[in-house]
Amino acid sequence: MSVRKYADRKRYFFLSVEETQAFAADYATGIPPGSVIALIGDLGTGKTTFTQGFARGLGITEQVGSPTFKIVSEYKGDHLILYHVDCYRLKNGADFLNIGGETLLNPDNGVTVIEWADIIEEILPAEAIVIHFSRIPGKVDQRGIIIEEHRDEIISI
């Protein structure tokens, strides 16, 4: 069994879609080029909502939607390109690599945000930022996220 160790883990709660998007827009302004952000969570937990706000933070004015059927969407921001990936229809990391995914894991001129990243977890870069999404029980519009940054290593136990 493998366990990931993280240097920094932060938890946030949002009362609305607008709060989630505002946080994501602000968060995007501090993300350096070449970053990979792995989004993990059940259907309807806010992954695409977060990505829409993140895109706004990069200066993207286009409508950002879930790329479930095309798998990858590309958006040009003020200074960076956003590669928005949806792995929902993939089976594993090999499927991702077969569509040219290795370039998306090393985005020199942009940032890659991957929805359903748990499907390709075994090939994510060690330095990927992992964000876990969840619903708040009994609160229709409220969501929680946990951000795990600066993954140190994967250890076997």
Give the whole-angstrom CA distance, residue 103 versus residue 100.
6
β strands within 41-100, DSSP E: 72-76, 81-86
Q: How confident is the model at residue 1 (pLDDT cuts 50, 70, 90)?
A: very low
Confidence (pTM): 0.89
3-state secondary structure of 23: helix
- C-alpha atoms less than 13 angstroms from C-alpha of 146 in its C-beta half-sphere: 10
pLDDT of residue 24: 98
* pLDDT, tens digit, 9 for 90 and up, residues 49-98: 999 999 999 999 999 998 777 899 999 999 999 999 999 999 999 999 99
